[in-house]
Amino acid sequence: MTINLDDLSVSELEKLIKQAEKKLEKKRLDAVKSAQAEISKIAKDLGVSVDDLLQEKASRQKKAARKTTARKKKAGVRKPAKVKYRNPADSSQTWTGRGKRPVWLRDALENGAKLEDFAV
């Protein structure tokens, strides 16, 4: 079915849109009623209520959701690592013991200092 929309006026197009929206809503309601009837028939054939049938589905969905969330890593902000070493000459210079050694610590160690001298 093809309607030539070019030949219609603005008011005719608006009327057509309203008619189409009403028809669409009616078809959706009919589809929902049909689905409800089918669900009721299935539940009756199984000898359970519709609520029991749907509750079982909800229970399975919750279990699946719990499995999914258990597998996902929780995204969040990491806490910064604790400071393990501090420059005695400048207390703002610190090192956590991770990554490359800072220049101030490397220079001090090359000049004979021990790492334990800088421990916090």
Provide the terminal-to-terminal Cα distance of the chain, rounded to the nearest Å.
Answer: 83
Distances in Å between the alpha carbon of 44 and those of 8, 39, 95, 105? Answer: 51, 9, 70, 78
Q: What's the confidence (pLDDT) of residue 71?
A: 60
Q: What's the confidence (pLDDT) of residue 68?
A: 62
| pLDDT at 24 > cutoff 60 | yes
Are 103 and 113 a contacting pair, CB within 8 Å?
no
The pTM of the whole model exceeds 0.75:
no
More confident residue, 74 or 3: 3
Give the model's confidence band at 58: pLDDT under 50 very low, under 70 low, under 90 confident, else very high.
low
Give the model's confidence band at 19: pLDDT under 50 very low, under 70 low, under 90 confident, else very high.
very high
Q: What does the chain come to in residues?
A: 120
Q: What's the confidence (pLDDT) of residue 44?
A: 87
Q: What's the confidence (pLDDT) of residue 100?
A: 93
| pLDDT at 49 > cutoff 90 | no
